[in-house]
Amino acid sequence: MKVIQYTEIVDEVSRICQEANFDLGEDVVNAFKESVKTETSEAGKSILNQLIENADIATSNRVPMCQDTGVSVFIVRLGQDCHITGGKLEDAINEGVRKGYDEGYLRYSIVDDPITRSNTGDNTPAVIHIELVEGDALDVQMSAKGGGAENMSAMKMLTPSAGLEGVKDFIMKTVREAGPNACPPLVVGIGIGGNFEVAPYLAKKSLFRPVGERHPDEGIAALEMELHESVNQLGIGPQGLGGNTTALDIKVETAPCHIAALPVAVNLNCHASRHKHFVI
């Protein structure tokens, strides 16, 4: 059985929290560069170029690309043959967040209570999802998820007669209403199926797949491409100032569901699509 030290997790989490905010993934930067070539609006092109420049400054100066350094969301795949020693896994992740956000001069964006709203002063607690998997590895994915795009996300319990058309309409409506608020160009994560709590989780999880990578299922991959094209016809464009780069990518995940249900969730991510990953 593999033994993993609590402190090792703390250090790795701290590192990826900072890297997520300083180093925009190559997948996203490449998508910016590709979009500059196809964007029809001059203002849109100029915005995309500024996004590239902004990402450059963040990486070279070790400063966050965006002031909203987000909720720290973790998807952890914990091998059932690995043993964590020295403390609890959740505590290690939260301590890593505390350390990373402090050392990286990142913003504290979490309040302790949704009604009374006092800032916790260290960006904890993180949102942590743990899945138990085979093997002895600890696989941790982190996303710094900004509030602007999260606020424009939506979920709906459709019923089966709505069909795929109903699903598509809901997705288009959500992206249209988000407009500039979610900082387009977006990455749109979609969860279809499951139940009331599963669909949004699928949508969130889909955002962890690199931009440009298609779903392994051919049918879902085709749906992703079709939706991507439709979204880019909306005219919203970079920052909502018009253009054909409304989304950099669309991700779809599905799950079995009840005979009476057709849940659909749309989790929007802004262009600051910040994801990092480590495996111990």
Partner 1 sequence: MSEIRIKVPFEPGAAEKLKSGDTVLLSGTIYTARDAAHKRMAEALERGEDLPVDLTGQVIYYVGPTPAKPDEVIGSAGPTTSSRMDAYTPALLAHGLKGMIGKGYRSREVTDAIQENKAVYMVAIGGTGALLARKITASKLVAYEDLGTEAIRRLEVEDFPCIVINDSAGNDFYESSQQSFAND
Question: Which 169-188 residues touch ligand SF4, going by CB under 6 A?
Answer: 182-183
3-state percent helix, strand, coil for the chain, nearest multiple of 5: 45, 25, 30
> How many residues interact with ligand SF4 (rule CB under 6 A)?
11
**Near partner 1 by CB under 8 A: residue from 30, 242, 255, 261:** 242
CB atoms under 10 Å from CB of 36, counted, come to 18
In single-letter form, the type of residue at position 53 comes to E
Specify the DSSP class assigned to residue 19. Answer: H
CB nearer to partner 1: pick between 79 and 237? 237
Task: Give the contact letters, 25-44, x = binds to ligand SF4 (CB under 6 A), - = no.
Answer: --------------------
Specify the DSSP class assigned to residue 174. Answer: H
Q: Which helix (H) or strand (E) holds 145?
A: strand 138-145
Stretch of 78-86, 231-239, 250-258, 265-273 lying at the interface with ligand SF4 (CB under 6 A): 265-273
Q: How many residues does the chain have?
A: 280
Q: Which residue has the tokens 């991510």?
A: 269
Question: Which 176-235 residues touch partner 1, going by CB under 8 A?
Answer: 179-181, 183, 230, 233-235
Task: Give the contact letters, 45-84, x = binds to ligand SF4 (CB under 6 A), - = no.
Answer: ---------------------x-x----------------
CB nearer to ligand SF4: pick between 9 and 149? 149
Question: Which 60-79 residues touch partner 1, going by CB under 8 A?
Answer: 61, 63-69
CB nearer to ligand SF4: pick between 14 and 269? 269
CB nearer to partner 1: pick between 99 and 215? 99
41 binds partner 1 (CB under 8 A): yes
Tokens at residue 187, please? 């990455």
**What is the nearest approach in angstroms of ligand SF4 to the Cβ of residue 73?**
13
149 burial via Cβ count (<10 Å: 0-12, 13-18, 19+)? buried
189 burial via Cβ count (<10 Å: 0-12, 13-18, 19+)? buried
48: Cβ contacts below 8 Å, ≥ 6 apart: 32, 35, 36, 39, 185, 238, 245
94: Cβ contacts below 8 Å, ≥ 6 apart: 124, 125, 126
Question: Which 108-147 residues touch partner 1, going by CB under 8 A?
Answer: 108-109, 117, 119, 121, 146-147
**What is the nearest approach in angstroms of partner 1 to the Cβ of residue 185?**
10
Tokens at residue 118, please? 């006092």
**Near ligand SF4 by CB under 6 A: residue from 174, 272, 275, 276:** 272
In whole angstroms, what separates CA 20 from the centre of its chain?
11
**Which chain residues interact with partner 1 by CB under 8 A?**
40-43, 47, 50-51, 53-54, 57-58, 61, 63-69, 105-109, 117, 119, 121, 146-148, 151, 179-181, 183, 230, 233-237, 239-244, 270-272
Q: For binding to ligand SF4 (CB under 6 A), which residues are involved? A: 66, 68, 146-149, 182-183, 270-272
